[in-house]
Amino acid sequence: MSDTITTPETEHGSHHILPKSSYYVVYAALMVLLVATVGFAYIDLGRVNFLVTMLIAISKALMIAMIFMHVRYSERLVWLFASAAFLWLVIMFAFTLADYFTRGSLNILGK
């Protein structure tokens, strides 16, 4: 009977209990990044500003998704679904912006 209970699944997935300290560490990192992004916004570095601001936002998003949302400890299928959402988002952005950024660059009248 015991062999039916000790399946790998019981140690797996969303039932992985993280110590509270993990959440506090992520929270502290999020706070540091919040202060950093607001402080950085007042320093003029031209186009680099936008890049760094977005990098900070993406780092915050990854920490929230990985630890708070437990993606890091979830089964592969959840990884696939979570990354699929962002993959389609990237495709939507890439194709649309590729159009708007290159309009007029061929110098054809009416294009």
Binding residues for another protein, rule: CB under 8 A, are 1, 4-5, 9-10, 13-15, 17-18, 20, 23-24, 26-27, 30-31, 34, 37-38, 41-45, 49-50, 53-54, 56-57, 60-61, 64-65, 67-70, 74-75, 77-78, 81-82, 84-86, 88-89, 92-93, 96-97, 100-101
Half-sphere exposure at residue 23, Cβ-oriented, CA atoms within 13 angstroms: 7
- Nearest residue (CB) to another protein, 11 versus 106: 11
CB atoms within 10 A of CB 67: 19
CB 67 within 8 A of CB 22: yes
Q: What is the DSSP letter of 44?
A: -
